[in-house]
Amino acid sequence: MSTTVDLTRGAIESIDSARHIDDILGLGDHLRDALWRVESANLEPYDTPGGLVVAGMGGSAIGGMLAREALGDRASRPIMLARDYALPAWATPDTMVLCASYSGNTEETLAVYEAAGALGAQRIVATTGGKLADGARAEGVPVIPLPGGFQPRAAVAYSLVVALEVAGLCGAGERLHAEIDVAAAHVEQMVEMWGPDAPGDSLAKELARGLNGTIPQIAGSGLTAPIAYRWKTQINENAKLPCFHHELPELDHNEIAGWQGASQLGRFSAVFLDDSDLHPRIRQRIELTRGLIEAEAAGTYRVESVGQSRTERLISLVLLGDLVSLYLAVLREVDPTPVPNLDRLKSALARG
């Protein structure tokens, strides 16, 4: 584990064999390409009073979580996730079901696809291919084709935009097409501020150095709650580290008590993801909670979103977390792309 790496492009490329950094830095282009792919699918508007269910796992599920918060009070019908083998018990034939699987072979999502068909619910598929694409095309179910060559977690822009656009098409929320386009330009400015060519004391690099050698706890609320989960999963997969997330104000009713023994067990750090639109009492809780756990933590950090619209601010923190997780991988001298334990589990399940 290095503490002296400069986190320059050269240092990153020496560790990042598959150039995962390029996928992170391409977030703006991915947002634009995702809009084009949805438009090119020529989807028809549907009126589904039962709302929208986004079925997916891992990197394919995060889009639904983020889309729900990007919409906020602009959502007019329920937007829920199915992250299992079954639809929610309340789903009806007038529910739209978006089945998202980057590989097209995610067994949980395939099961939900079949369940939605048996129910008679309207379905849309987003995938690169696999069994999901084959089944959808055979049944005349619309398919939004995703580009190949990514790790599923790197396709976050696609899963977000597809979920937002389908929400608009089925009447679950406003169409945010223009807002997404503006956010794409905004995130490119953030790349200049936080990317590999930014100074060594830039926010993303400083955060990675501060979190290095610790077990991070990421906290969010409202808009930033699903982003806290995204940070956790990115640190898990890219940096190969344990990492946990929670939501305010709930963590102040339980997790805060656990910090009393943190320093006796190891080095734990805390990152609080803030946003200008959070409830004033939540923002007050962030500072109070930081103060109360500070003595037991290896470091505490408050990070605020950047941007005007909800979509801009959300995507700014997604980018920041992705970069922090990759910089952590470089500092730990571990290749961010391979996920051998996930691969072994999938192989074992396929055999069983």
Known catalytic residues are 237, 253, 346
Residue 65: both structure tokens together: 């979580």
Number of alpha carbons in the 13 Å side-chain half-sphere of residue 66: 32
Residue showing tokens 């899963």: 159
Number of alpha carbons in the 13 Å side-chain half-sphere of residue 228: 25
The conformational region for residue 96 under phi > 0 = left, psi -120 to 50 = alpha, else beta, is beta
Tell the burial category of 74 from Cβ atoms under 10 Å away from its Cβ (0-12, 13-18, 19+): middle
3 state DSSP class of 125: strand
* Residues pairing with 244 in the sheet: 217
Q: Which residues of 288-325 are buried (b: 16+ CB within 10 A; e: fewer)?
A: ebbeebeebbbbbbebbbbbebbbbbbbbbbbbbbbbb
Peptide bond into 249 cis (omega under 30): yes
DSSP label at residue 308: S
Contact 235, 216 (CB under 8 A): yes
